[in-house]
Amino acid sequence: MKVLPELGIGIDLGGTQAKGVLVTQDGVVRRQVVMPFDGGEAASWKAAVEAIAIELRTAAAGQPYTLGLSAPGLPDAHNTCIRWMPGRLEGLEGLVWAELLGEDRVPVINDAHAALMAEHQFGAGKGCRHLVLLTLGTGVGGGLLIEGQLFQGMGNRAGHLGHTSLDHQGITGITGLPGTLEEAFGNESVSRRTSGRFQTTLALVQAYLEGDTFGTWCWLDSVRKLAIGIAGFCNTFSPEKIILSGGIAQAGEALLRPLQTFLDVYEWRPGGLQVPVTIAHFQEYAGALGAAAYGMRA
């Protein structure tokens, strides 16, 4: 059995800031840090990541550690860099992080995959061998844990569950598929879905809570489509849990109550088998924690 290092450093590169954690293998966070940067220029975000790495190495105080990194995009086959992320973070594609940070190895994973790893190692999915995580935010992303291992698939693109088609006649999404779950539920499409009445999911949920008729219909229609997608994932992967992460998941019971009602209609439950749906334990530092967890095991 592989002996895990006592400490893991995880760094999560976002669009406007980088976050880092120093965490023990049993989930105790020793240090966390956030470093904003200006725009997507390479020099700016590279400097932020390097500064975080220096601070967390110092905090490790000479103890052995591993270092992992999460970022948007698709990693290469060996998880050494992001090989595909067009249009964002200039200079990210092809950057070998081990070389930049002066480490023997820096395993790199997609940010949604990192959120899954955080929940599996330290959070709502601890102890599970089969998990589906959905990130509900600007779009809809996700990750798959199969037999206790992150499943990345060929080209490391597995887990992009938001790009599952629910309606063959719907609007075509960024991957070329029509009527995707991302279009049905992501924050980016709220205005289109509500005839311009609502610009954010937060405003739509608030209208639902206040009893606004049109807002209620739009929100419940979106949640119904999410339930259909989740029921399909249960049939395909048969996970022990579905974990909901991201900003929209913070709607809490306003999301979970109607979602469970729709799942009572759509989920196939042979022999009474039912997949629990829960909100992720981690939010703000999920990517950094997941990068650390993956780094410890890679």
What pTM value is reported for the model? 0.94
How much is the average pLDDT of 61-65? Answer: 94
How much is the average pLDDT of 153-167? Answer: 94
Task: Give me the pLDDT at residue 89, please.
Answer: 86
Going by pLDDT thresholds of 50, 70 and 90, the confidence category of residue 40 is low
Task: Give me the pLDDT at residue 1, please.
Answer: 54
Q: Is the pLDDT score of 3 beyond 70? A: no
Lowest mean pLDDT among 3-7, 52-56, 83-87, 187-191: 3-7
Q: What's the gap between Cα 15 and its chain centre?
A: 14
How much is the average pLDDT of 266-281? Answer: 97
Question: According to the 3-state scheme, what is the secondary structure of 18-32?
Answer: EEEEEEECCCCEEEE
Q: Is the pLDDT score of 107 beyond 60? A: yes
Going by pLDDT thresholds of 50, 70 and 90, the confidence category of residue 175 is confident
Helices (runs of H) and strands (runs of E) counted in the chain: 9, 12
Task: Give me the pLDDT at residue 157, please.
Answer: 92
How much is the average pLDDT of 154-176? Answer: 92
Q: Which residues pair with 33 in a beta bridge?
A: 20
Is 275 exposed, middle or buried, given 0-12, 13-18 or 19+ CB atoms closer than 10 A? buried
Q: Is the pLDDT score of 193 beyond 60? A: yes
Task: Give me the pLDDT at residue 87, please.
Answer: 75
